[in-house]
Amino acid sequence: MESAQMLQPVFVPREFEVFAGLDVDKTRIAVTFTDHNRLLKSLQMPYSSQHLLNYTRKQFADRRVAFVYEAGPTGFGLHDDLLAAGHRCLVVAPSMVPRAPGQRVKTNRIDSRKLSEGLRGGQLNSIHVPSLAYRHLRHLVQLRDSHVRQMMAAKYRIKALLLYEGIPFPEAPASNQWSARVLHKLGTLPCTAAVGFKLNSLVASLYFHQLEAAATQKQIRRFCQQDPELSRSIQYLTTIPGIGWIVASHLVARLGDWRQIRNVRQIASFLGLVSWEHSTGDQVQRGSITRTGDVRLRNKLVETAWTAVRKDPELEEFYRRIYQRHPRPIAARKAIVAVARKLTTRIYSVLKQQRPFRLKTGVAQAPLTPEETACPRGRLDQPQNEGTHGS
């Protein structure tokens, strides 16, 4: 698989002679070239990797050049072209570029110079640039999540409309409120022509996004089955209790090539499941989780944790231990987030070792009580329909 070709060694500035900082937008590139001693050239050119390569070849033919630009809407095409031409290129997260607190002027030229000087000083760390297979999987996963969000929005709008008009929602079990029978009943509710038109439009929108989400999920399965590495990684992840195909495919899409995961802490940090810390001297301050990274994936993993504690006695015992350490109003929230973070260590193990997870046996626990699984409503770690993502 080509993702193995994307692995890059640690960037060492002294191995290069020229450092090019690129500020990229959809029409042009602001470029600043520096060497180890001074500014060489600062200019603007059309957004074209070929134009940039031609200029570099003409001006620095006998010198080793390294490039850097910020991740953004233009994607990784420029990175791929520079890499294919034999150059080193870093793509950095905009939030991780050092900035002077007192700086009040921002231009493309200033930004490109800042990137060039940061690259020369070894202050910039590249993100993991995914290969084409992982990028395409991300597109599909994001599309499915978009349809799921639109489905939820349509359901909220239907209930809000009925509540506003004083029309009772059709009776149905709590676990099956949006079955085909309920949707059919919605079309026969007594209401005015205007309300009926809006209601039918919302139901049609719900039908559309349901069908599109299902079609996208089928396409994700077909796409992953055609790639042995993607299929194998997903298969290993689904052996972890609580993690199903949807969560596994989202994890693989966002984490990318498992060879680039450096240590067991990296996944939890990437998903924002580590505590923020502001410590100095003898004073140590730690707070709630950082909540950085992919919000949808983090929420899916917390939902997965609720399923996992019911399937895995070891995680259930861990949940109880964390639960007992905290006051009752926040105990369930703290405990389930801790379980989600513990799941990241299992994810790391099965991906790095490329093996299925083996559940420990012989640990018996009493079932969790409703009090132990009660969480504040509307929070990240709220117990929801575990089957949505965990099965």
pTM of the model: 0.83
pLDDT higher than 60, residue 364 = no
Q: Is the dihedral of CA 138, 141, 144, 149 positive or negative?
A: negative
Give pLDDT tens digits for 183-216: 888 888 888 999 999 999 999 999 999 999 999 9
* Rounded Cα–Cα distance for residues 30 and 106 (Å): 13
Q: What is the DSSP string of 303-317?
A: HHHHHHHHH-HHHHH
* Rounded Cα–Cα distance for residues 174 and 178 (Å): 9
User: For strand 39-46 and strand 65-70, is the pairing parallel, antiparallel, or unpaired?
Assistant: unpaired
At 231, give phi and psi (nearest 5°). Answer: -60, -40
At 97, give phi and psi (nearest 5°). Answer: -85, 125
Token digits for 291? 């909540």
Asked if 66 and 18 touch (Cβ cutoff 8 Å), the reply is yes
Residue 340 CB neighbour total at 10 angstroms: 26
pLDDT band, very low/low/confident/very high, at 180 (cuts 50, 70, 90): confident
pLDDT higher than 80, residue 230 = yes
In this prediction, residue 6 carries a pLDDT of: 45
* Rounded Cα–Cα distance for residues 337 and 237 (Å): 19
Rounded (5°) CA angle 377-273-363: 85
Is 162 in a helix, a strand, or coil? helix
Token digits for 263? 């240590």
Residue 341 CB neighbour total at 10 angstroms: 21
* Rounded Cα–Cα distance for residues 126 and 117 (Å): 15
Minimum mean pLDDT range among 30-39, 165-174, 196-205: 165-174
With b meaning 16 or more CB within 10 Å and e meaning fewer, what string describes 273-303?
A: bbeeeeeeeeeeeeeebeeebbebbbbbbbb
Give pLDDT tens digits for 83-142: 999 999 999 999 888 888 877 888 989 999 999 999 999 999 888 889 999 999 999 999
Please report, as a single letter, which amino acid is at residue 105.
V
Q: What is the DSSP string of 204-229?
A: HHHHHHHHHHHHHHHHHHHHHHTSHH
Nearest to 48 by CA among 21, 25, 72: 25
Asked if 29 and 42 touch (Cβ cutoff 8 Å), the reply is no
Cα–Cα distances (Å) from 237 to 49, 227, 306, in that order, read 38, 16, 17
39, β-bridge pairs? 34
Provide the percentage of residues in the chain whose pLDDT is more than 70. Answer: 90
In this prediction, residue 385 carries a pLDDT of: 44
In this prediction, residue 154 carries a pLDDT of: 95
